[in-house]
A = this chain, B = another copy of it.
Amino acid sequence: MKQVPVGVSARHIHLSQEHIAILFGKEYELTIMKDLSQPGQFAANETVSIEGPKNSFEKVRILGPARKESQLEISKTDSFYLGVQSPVRESGDIEGSPGIKIVGPAGEVQLDKGVIIAARHIHFHTSDAQKWGIKNKQFLKVRVNGERPLIFEDVIARISDNYALDMHIDTDEANAAGINTCDTAEIIDY
């Protein structure tokens, strides 16, 4: 049994150091509210507002640390609400994705790209992947046995010595399956 814990990602944003300075003030440093499953990653106490063409979200959580490029990760449901046409992408692959307006306590940023729907994926520590014979970027089939059982296909394997075993899905996917963070998924075929 290749069992993997599930982590459900609500909408969140990663910010560049430059954008943190504009939104929160020069030399501002994000503060840690909670460590996340992946080593070094954290949910910050700080939030921003996101203003789409149709609607806005307030208090969108920032995940730290700062990244090279700012990136807003939303569900497809969120994309209809905001009024943006976001592609399903791997984190960091933001070329051609729509931009959006970010509002912080010290200023505003108009992103020209970076709004994506995260492609579902599993983080494997290198040792987990070796044990199960899984290759980086491989597509996996994963069954979740929640209130509404289903099998996710095209779940991308991402392998690193810096990762902890965890499957990341968004709120649409979690709600379609009737599962929550801390539920368990099973890789059924690869």
Contact = CB atoms under 8 A, between A and B. Distances in A.
Given A88-B178, A148-B88, A77 B171 contact: yes
A168 to B, nearest CB: 13
Contacts of A171: 77
A89 to B, nearest CB: 11
A77 B176 CA distance: 9
A163 interface: no
Interface residues of A, number: 22
A10 B177 CA distance: 17
A120 interface: yes
A150 B148 contact: no
Interface in A113-169: 119-120, 147-154
B153 A150 contact: yes
Interface of A: 75-77, 88, 119-120, 147-154, 170-173, 175-178
5 contacts: A75-B175, A88-B148, A150-B152, A172-B175, A173-B176
Q: Which 5 pairs, one residue from A and one from B, show the smallest C-beta to C-beta distance? A: A76-B175, A176-B176, A151-B151, A172-B175, A149-B153
